[in-house]
Structure 1
Amino acid sequence: MMDKTLIKAILFDSGRTLNVPRTGQWHITPNFYEIIDKDKITSNPMVLRNAMGKASDYINKILKVSTQEEEFLMFKEFYRIALNEIQYPVIDDNVLTALAKDNVYNDEKFLFFDDVEPSLKVLVKKYKVGVVSDTWPSLERVFVNKGLRKYFSTFIMSSIYGSSKAEKILLKIAIDELNVKANETLFIDDSESNLKAVEEFGMIPILIDRYDRKELQSKYPIIRSLEELSKLKNLEVPKGIYMGD
């Protein structure tokens, strides 16, 4: 009889797994076009996109961001770079402060998928549940204020540790905090590249497709909603993995 590995924990990525940006773009904040005069921005969306890309290059080099205050200062510089790139006519402290505040301190910057809380309520009855995300400190506050943080026994944000999922340090911290083994843990992520690191670490990778892309193929099991996890019967896991009764 084959030994079965009992799954004891489920770890989730956050962005495009549990939540998405309300505007559809991470750094176009809910009040972006109230703070910025849209008439003074080029009508070519690629120009703004490229400017955001250059500003992202700057923040992606900052590995350690320990507090929301540090995150706020980082995003002030982010928007200074972006607005300078599009040659916005008024780049002063008032504008930069308003944009950074809307990015960091606005709890409405994210939309959570409808299945998140109902599924978590079911999953926490059987599994230890956590978040491991390449992100900044304000994410946890949003989860707290939305009433979702209570479901997670660990909540790992990359910038707190100056690392990323790809380096696997965060994965080790998560399983240590949950007191489980890697092979007893599912990891749900929307990125195959992240799941490659998860697989190498010894966890069970599951790809989530929130956009129902029928043509999507993957070496990893694919789910389209968290309900497939909470119901379990629709989830195909590798041979020898036991999800419990």
Structure 2
Amino acid sequence: MTRRPSPQEDLRAVLFDSGGVLMQPIGGRWHPRADFEQTVLAHVPSITSEQFEEAIAAGDRFLASSSPEPDDYHRLMLRHVGVDPTSELLADLSRDVPPATLLETYPEVMGTLEELSRRSVRMAVVSDAWPNLPDLHAGLGIGRFFEAYAISAVLGCNKPDPRMYHHASDALNLEPAQCLFLDDDPALVVAAIGLGYAGRAVCRGSLTTEIPSIASLAELLDLF
């Protein structure tokens, strides 16, 4: 009798979400980046902590309703507290800084990516992020592992839009069933599974029983 391959034997690639899966912000906040208050205060020293809280809350609402460019996001927060968003201030808020000063990879990420690469597992990123994500990954030393990026700000859509997932698998020239999608949002994993992808939710705090999940990326090595 011919043995049927297990689902794991069909897998050829991993499609990674970025934030919450590969990397996290030092200090715990994604947006605005950790030096936002310090940068604004260098231009407008009178802004209070309460005003910053209000501005950041307004920025969160803006991000939840759209995929703005960084300058538009910063303009909204600054205008919310009555600050003139000058070109100098906007440039300062978006200035290049070493990614390692603001972001860090999870402890097991580098070793897992290296081992997956050694096993010839192909890798791509599917992330609701700004266009500079590949540069951030390069600065953290992980960009070399990824053959393709599906980035919301580039494609003009966000997960769970099927175009996000398909852009990555198409770039790898693979069928959805040959790709394992990872995200820390279980709903986005469910959406990927509905499109024919394999999926795992990354639940670093507590595993979900609703869909297949992992607590560490190191568990991927059991699948390839």
TM-score interval, smaller chain: 0.7 to 0.9
1:224 to 202, 205, 215: 215
Offset, 1:199: 0.8
**Map of 1:32 onto structure 2:** 36
Q: Which residue of 2 aligns with 1:51?
A: 58
Query: Equivalences for 1:154-233 in 2 at 5 Å?
Result: 154-210=148-204, 212-213=205-206, 216-230=207-221, 232=222
Number of the residue aligned with 1:116: 109
Structure 1 residues 191-230: Cα deviation after superposition (integer angstroms, max 9, x where no partner) = 12211220111111101023x23xx534211211111112
State whether residues 51 and 81 of structure 2, in contact with CA within 8 Å, keep that contact through their aligned partners in structure 1. Answer: no
Aligned with residue 6 of structure 2, among 4, 7, 11: 4
Question: Within 2, Cα distance between the matches of 1:119 and 1:149?
Answer: 14
**What amino acid is aligned across from residue 116 of structure 2 in structure 1?**
L
AA in 2 matched with 1:134: D
CA distance in 2 between counterparts of 1:85 and 1:139 reads 27
1:180 CA displacement: 2.3
Segments of 5+ residues of structure 1 without an aligned counterpart are 63-73, 233-242
TM-aligned CA distance change 1:172 to 1:61, over 3 Å: closer
Offset of residue 39 of structure 1: 5.5
Distance across 2 between alignment mates of 1:136 and 1:91? 20
Change (3 A) 1:82 1:195: same
Cα-to-partner distance string for 1:140-182 (whole Å, 9 max, x where unaligned): 0111233211111222212222223311112222222223221
TM-score, scaled to structure 1: 0.77
Taking structure 1 as reference, are residues 118 and 39 closer, same or farther at Cα in structure 2, changes over 3 Å only?
farther
What is the root-mean-square deviation of aligned Cα atoms in Å? 2.4
Post-superposition offset of 1:117: 0.9
Counterparts in 2 of 1:54 and 1:219: CA distance versus 1, 3 Å:
closer
- Asked if the contact 2:79–2:85 (Cα under 8 Å) also holds between the matched residues in 1, the reply is yes
Aligned twin of 1:41 = 48
- C-alpha separation between the residues in 1 aligned to 2:85 and 2:130? 25
Which residue is 2:26 aligned to? 22
After TM superposition, the score normalised by the length of structure 2 is 0.83
Alpha-carbon separation, structure 2, partners of 1:44 and 1:85? 9
Q: Distance in 1 between matches of 2:4 and 2:14?
A: 23
Identity %: 24
1:10-66 deviation digits (Å, cap 9, x = unpaired): 1110011101122322223232232122762243775243222244257x255xxxx
- Residue number in structure 2 paired with 1:149: 143
Q: 1:165 to 1:28 in 2, by over 3 A?
A: closer
Quick check: 198-207 or 143-152, which moved more?
Answer: 143-152
What is the CA–CA distance in structure 2 between the aligned matches of 1:112 and 1:143, rounded to whole Å? 9
Is contact 1:55–1:82 with CA below 8 Å preserved after alignment?
Answer: no
Q: May I ask how many residue pairs the two structures share in their alignment?
A: 215
1:71 corresponds to: none
Alignment match of 2:73 (pick from 73, 78, 82): 78
Structure 2 unaligned runs (5+)? none
CA contact (8 A) 2:190 2:211 kept: no
